[in-house]
A and B are shown apart, each in its own frame.
Chain A
């Protein structure tokens, strides 16, 4: 329940896998720093899911929790830097 409250309204998604043994459904969230979609298994321990960035107030994946060490670089900022770099490279030929 804590997990559900924690990711409520925060980059949530829904994954449904319908197979021969029925349908399995999972909540997902999208990491605010790298855009990876993280599946939230049933009864998962909160510390296995990653954490929340207190700067951008969004969920981040376990990899980004370890890599960023409290620093915040939202994915949109990464994309803007990437786009700017490519615009610059195109402008100089």
Chain B
């Protein structure tokens, strides 16, 4: 079981847009254990950004497919895949896994330090965890997001 990292950028932050979607495969259940999120560009105002992590059941159309890097170069390539900067949004299940309100100048970091705190993605095609903006507040520029996960 290796650990992997993937980063996605939502160019020109906009509401109800997905910055990064981590998608599992039929043979593995990825476990999201780390997440980092911030915006780039000088904020217009200090109005809060609202973003949330949700479970996706269809992948939508990604503008780019970021490369997933293994933290140990000896590990095999990840089975999970990722999509970023979506032009057609993934389909999300009702409810949210995490929800944040933060200043556009902020950096958010979350890490699970107990295995039961990690977020499981089902071993079902096209299911994943996506990070979507709800409201952009005073943010300008890009929304930058990074996931750390185990692929097993």
Contacts and interface: CB of A to CB of B under 8 A. Distances in A.
Interface string B112-133: 1110111110111100000000
A20 interface: yes
Contacts of B106: 17-20
Interface residues on B, range: 20 to 34
Contacts of B122: 79, 82-83, 86
Contacts of A15: 108-110
Interface string B46-82: 1000000100000000000000000000000000000
Contacts of B107: 17-19
A4 to B, nearest CB: 13
A16 B108 contact: yes
Given A13-B112, A15-B108, A34-B95, A28 B117 contact: yes
B112 A30 contact: yes
Query: Which of A18, A34, A82 has most B Cβ within 10 Å?
Result: A18
Contacts of A30: 112, 116-119
A72 interface: no
Contacts of B103: 19-21
B97 interface: yes
B105 interface: yes
Interface residues on A, range: 20 to 34
A76 interface: yes
Contacts of B120: 35, 75-76, 79
Interface string A14-39: 11111111000000111010111100
Contact of A10 (B96, B102, B116, B118): B116
A14 B110 contact: yes
Contact of B95 (A10, A20, A36): A36
A14 B29 contact: no
A20 B116 contact: no
Given A14-B110, A37-B110, A32 B105 contact: no
A58 interface: yes
B61 to A, nearest CB: 22
Interface of B: 29, 46, 53, 95-98, 100, 102-103, 105-114, 116-120, 122-125
6 contacts: A10-B116, A11-B117, A18-B106, A19-B103, A28-B117, A86-B122
